[in-house]
A and B are shown apart, each in its own frame.
Chain A
Amino acid sequence: MTTTGLHVVGRSVERSDRLGHVTGRTRYTADRTFPGMLHLKMVRSPAHHARVRGIDLAEAERVPGFVRAFTAADVPHNRYTILSLIGVEPEDELVLAEERVRFQGEAIVAIVAETEAAALEAVSKVRLDLEELPAVFDVEEALRPGAPIVTDWGTNTFMYEGHPCRRVRLGDVEAAFASADHIVEAVYRSSPIEHAPTETTGCIAVPEPDGRVSVYTNTQALYFSLDNTAIILQVPGNRLHFIGGTVGGGFGGKVDVIVEPIATLAAMRTGRPVRFVYSRAEEMLVSSTRSAWRIAIKDGVMADGRIVARQVTSYADSGAYSRQTPYALTKHAANAAGPYTIPNVAIDAYCVYTNRQPTSAMRGFGVTMASFAVEVQMDRVAERVGLDPWTVRFINAYHEGDLRPHRKRAEDVTLIETMQAAATLVGHELPAELRAMTSAPRPDGDGGPAR
């Protein structure tokens, strides 16, 4: 490079889409309309867990404006999992339910009709014969013997290469607990939350004269949606053209591939544009949420505040299907000891299936609840040893080059400098020895603190 200095990186140039956003003229997916467009609505399970004994469409088909109904038998590759693209198995989710529904709101029949009102009317006329089954909603209850089994593989946990949890092991936590001055234990819990984007999940699939289908969608990942749709419909990728890029908030919820495959199938089978846009109630009750978490932390702490062992056992509720949650547990396991250097760490992170609505990616993917648990735990540790909350974080903070529990040397580390900047911002005077610290590699050179 022959330029010197930076000209536009680092400047607050006005965002290029600002005028459209603030005047309401930006065109989002659901703002589009096409001649002859049909509307898709789902018949959903009223039960949390049930066997599907029968589906009676006769009355629905007589609703004026009804065009067509789709059931599992109409979907070429009905059983899928979105992360199969990066090698995650097994395929566990159904585009439309077959013999069993596993959460309240699970899609069973897709109805397309001339108007939204006709589609809703037809949905209300579908008669389902369901045999309700016992359901489980709690991650720890789901792991007890005799609990209802949600999956098809006989356990309520995702299997990580032969283990029912993602494991991280460094050193010997039991030996370190035995020699620690204090043991500090607590269990942290969280409820699921909704992504709550301003724009609900949706798409419009439009058959083109050349035999391709244009799919206007607010997915966060266009090729991810296209590739999964091609697998589910068993069509070559070149039949599909996905168009989006302008999205009214995602927060992870729009990495799922839920609306595009069935809308595209309906467009191909009817030869007409098909619109499938979630109502706010569907966004709330059916689309993915953040997992419910339960995180147990046990720390071995020396009298001077050094944490010498940390054992973390985490359970994240995947709901009825995998979606992105098994991958979130791996990211969780990599971060569950926090930004601290602890020589003995054992982490077991379980991805648990229940009869709740599926969970998936959400802002902070596996780390948000780890940060909550670890940072409240750090205050507990501080209180136990009689240190202030700042000091206990500084003396345990990781440094550049430290060995992390997952055995990678830490890179680009600035935790200490960031805490110093926060103290300055709020006018909290740190003791001189904390002000003098840096994240620079430790002098002993092996990346582990002298213990």
Chain B
Amino acid sequence: MTRLRGIGVAAVNYPTGMNLGGDPSQALIHATTSGSFVVSLSSTDLGQGLRTVIGQIAAETLGVPYEEIVVDLGDTDEGPHCMGTFASRATHRVGNAVMAAAREAREAILDVAAEELEASPDDLETDGEGGLRVRGVPDRSVRIADIAALAQFKYGRTISGRGSYMKPKSPVDPETGAMDPDSTEAHACTVAEVEVDTETGQVAVLSIRSAYEIGRMVNPALVRSQIEGGAWMGMSHALYETTAPYYPSMDHRPRDFSEYLMPGPLELAEVVESVVLEIPSSNGPYGVKGIGEMTANSPIPAIVNAVYHATGVRIDDLPITPEKILRGLDALAAAPGEPER
């Protein structure tokens, strides 16, 4: 028995948002009597943390603490239209809509504050912690929460904002394929290291190490969660998963997680490392690009290339099963040094 080690690399791009556009998301924001801000959306959090990043974007734009944001999502009576959470679009599209709504609400805050402070709205600045002051005059300051209450009870005004974001739909030329298929492009480069057992054909993934460029991270911990989850999903795609394990026979298709092969805790790569470059995009809120889908992509070819580097067996048919490895090793042994084609 021999254990052979190899390294593979892969580099990818990934477009943000529904590729041809025409996918609006809208947001509404209003202030409560106590100075909280409710962000109303019909969008969906799939478990990736949309609620949290939307709260961060709203807080940043309004200039209030994150804790003052209530994100009310997932209701078609309460929130305006959102195309949905898919296509790595939510942070970019919904984030842009929320940012626009927050800008409008912020202007309403500044108008009331200017009246209360007898200043011009243009001379006011927020401190990002819920305070608002006349620029250069530290003692003329006020809490945004107090402005929200005054707007309600003294001035009878609304503090609210509307936001929408949509990339206009691109046509496709049916002859040449000329089209505008992205809003911005994120990038990844993954280096995978594997160890192949030549007796069993089993592939162990030792490490998945990647660089990402995704514009700006709204929440680095949530970005790391996506990177780790995507690395495992990509690894599972490369080495384990199929809904038709006996194809071309369609019999005995897996019905549950005891029959459908996926890596368990012992099989997952122990090392998933990443570095994230932040080079702001031109059209994302605070420069973000989408990271949701792409984290599963580059690990797949990186693992396939690593298996080739380790064994000389080039497998072009996913998933890489032990049977394919062993047959490939047998073929190499039968015709050593034979060029691939």
Query: Is there contact, CB below 8 Å, between B260 and A13?
Result: no
B177 surroundings in chain A (CB, below 8 A): 166-169, 333-334, 347, 405-407
Whether A16 sits at the interface, judged by CB under 8 Å, is yes
The 10 residue pairs across chains A and B that have the minimum distance between CB atoms:
A245-B74, A221-B84, A168-B177, A375-B301, A7-B128, A161-B174, A334-B181, A421-B211, A12-B221, A422-B189
Residue of B whose beta carbon sits closest to that of A223: B81
Q: Determine if B270 is an interface residue (Cβ-Cβ < 8 Å).
A: no
Task: For the complex formed, measure the closest distance between the CB of A346 and the CB atoms of chain B, giving whole angstroms.
Answer: 10
Task: Please determine whether A375 and B11 come into contact, CB atoms closer than 8 angstroms.
Answer: yes
B146 on interface, CB distance cutoff 8 Å: no
- The answer for the CA separation of A419 and B187 in the assembled complex, in Å, is 9
Asked whether B46 lies within 8 Å of A247 as measured between CB atoms, the reply is yes
Residue contact B42 to A422, C-beta cutoff 8 Å: no
Instruction: State the CA gap A361–B88 with chains docked (Å).
Output: 12
* Interface 1/0 per residue, B284-325 and A, CB below 8 Å: 001001001110111011101100100000101111000000
Which residue of the partner chain, among B77, B243, B301, contacts A372 with CB atoms under 8 Å?
Answer: B301
Contact of B11 (CB < 8 Å), options: A3, A330, A333, A393: A393
For B189, B215, B217, B255, the residue with the greatest tally of chain A CB atoms inside 10 Å of its CB is B189
Does B233 belong to the interface (CB within 8 Å)? yes
Interface centre among B47, B85, B135, B318 (most CB of A within 10 A): B47
Interface size class of B (residues with CB under 8 A): 35 or more
A241 to B77, CA, bound (A): 6
Q: Which of A2, A7, A254 contacts B135 (CB 8 A)?
A: A2
Q: For residue B274, which residues in chain A have a CB less than 8 angstroms away from its CB?
A: 425
Once the chains bind, are B256 and A250 in contact (CB under 8 Å)? no
- Residues on B with beta carbons closer than 8 Å to the beta carbon of A417: 187, 213, 277, 279
Query: A13 and B47: CB pair below 8 A?
Result: no
B158 at the interface (CB under 8 A from A): no
Residue pair B52, A137 in contact (C-beta under 8 Å): no
Contact at A185–B181, with CB atoms within 8 Å?
no
A415 contacts B273, CB within 8 Å?
A: no
Q: Are B60 and A330 in contact (CB under 8 A)?
A: no
Task: Let me know if A223 and B191 touch, CB within 8 A.
Answer: no
Q: Is residue B210 within 8 Å, beta carbon to beta carbon, of the partner chain? A: yes
Known A333-B177, A414-B187; judge A375-B10 contact (CB<8 A). Answer: yes
Interface status of B82 (Cβ within 8 A of chain A): yes
A330 to B209, CA, bound (A): 30
> In the complex, what distance in Å separates the CA atom of A356 from the CA atom of B253?
12
| 29 A-B pairs in the complex with CB atoms less than 8 angstroms apart | A9-B216, A11-B56, A11-B219, A13-B52, A191-B243, A220-B46, A221-B83, A221-B85, A222-B44, A222-B84, A241-B75, A245-B74, A254-B46, A285-B253, A331-B15, A335-B181, A363-B296, A371-B10, A375-B301, A379-B305, A380-B314, A406-B179, A407-B178, A412-B185, A412-B215, A421-B213, A422-B191, A422-B209, A425-B209
A75 at the interface (CB under 8 A from B): no
- Interface residue? A281 (CB, 8 A): yes
Using an 8 Å CB-CB cutoff, how does the interface string of B197-220 with A read, 1 for contact, 0 for none?
A: 000000000000111110111111
For B191, list chain A residues within 8 Å (CB): 422, 425-426, 428
Taking A372-B300, A411-B185, A415-B187 as contacts, is the C-beta distance between A250 and B86 under 8 angstroms?
yes
- A59-67, A149-157, A192-200, A264-272 - interface stretch: A192-200
Taken together as a complex, chains A and B put the C-alpha atoms of A255 and B316 apart, in Å, by 30
Among A219, A243, A380, A390, the residue within 8 A (CB) of B75 is: A243
Q: Choose, from B148-156, B159-167, B244-252, B328-336, the stretch at the interface.
A: B244-252
Taking a contact as CB atoms under 8 Å apart, the answer to whether A419 and B211 are in contact is yes
How many chain A residues touch B (CB < 8 A): the figure is: 118
Contact of B305 with A375 in the complex, beta carbons under 8 Å = yes
In the complex, whether B76 has a CB less than 8 A from a CB of chain A is yes
Interface bits B50-74 vs A (CB < 8 Å: 1, else 0): 0110011101100101100001011
The distance in angstroms between the C-alpha atoms of A339 and B294, with both chains bound, is 13
Complex contacts, B255 vs chain A, CB 8 Å: 280-281, 284-285
Chain B residues near A12 (CB-CB < 8 A)? 219-222
Per the 8 Å Cβ criterion, residues 64-121 of A in contact with B are: 86, 104
A411–B184 CB distance below 8 A:
yes
In the complex, the answer to whether B179 meets A138 with C-beta atoms within 8 Å is no
B243 and A194 contacting across the interface, CB-CB below 8 Å: yes
Q: Which residues of A sit under 8 angstroms from B56, Cβ to Cβ?
A: 8-9, 11, 13
Say whether B188 faces chain A, with CB atoms less than 8 Å apart.
yes
In the complex the two chains form, is A15's CB within 8 Å of B242's CB? no
CB distance from A394 to the nearest CB of B (A): 9
Instruction: Please indicate the chain B residues that have their CB under 8 angstroms from the CB of A221 in the complex.
Output: 44, 82-86
Q: How far is the CA of A410 from the CA of B237 in the complex (A)?
A: 29
Give min CB distance, A212 to chain B, whole Å: 9
Partner of A379, one of B55, B77, B222, B308: B308
A10 at the interface (CB under 8 A from B): yes
Assess whether B185 is in contact with A413, with CB atoms less than 8 Å apart.
Answer: yes
